[in-house]
Amino acid sequence: MNHKKIAQTFKVLGGSERIKIIQYLSIGEKCVCEILENLKLPQNLVSYHLGTLRKSNLIIAHREGKWIHYSLNKKSFAELRGFLRKL
């Protein structure tokens, strides 16, 4: 991970709602309906935060029927952990 990418990742993780999503996904893949229920936020806000996390490559998504399921991008978090360990 280069310095610019790391700085962008920290900016994305600066939002408390996005941290909640990351924390919730750390226990496993979740359907968007489960994320909505857990956060108790309007659908448009949850969609915005999920989109931001996806663009930053912190989460991945796949469709199953009419639902989208989200999970952590383990590779991105491994790179971030590696950077933090070097500090």
d(CA 71, CA 28): 6
Task: State the DSSP string of 10-77.
Answer: HHHTTSHHHHHHHHHHTTS-EEHHHHHHHHT--HHHHHHHHHHHHHTTSEEEEEETTEEEEEE-HHHH
Out of 2.30.40.10, 1.20.1050.10, 1.10.10.10, 3.60.15.10, the CATH code matching 3-86 is: 1.10.10.10
Quick: pLDDT tens for 16-71. Answer: 999 999 999 999 999 999 999 999 999 999 999 999 999 999 999 999 999 999 99
pLDDT value at position 72?
97
Asked whether the predicted pLDDT for residue 2 surpasses 90, the reply is no
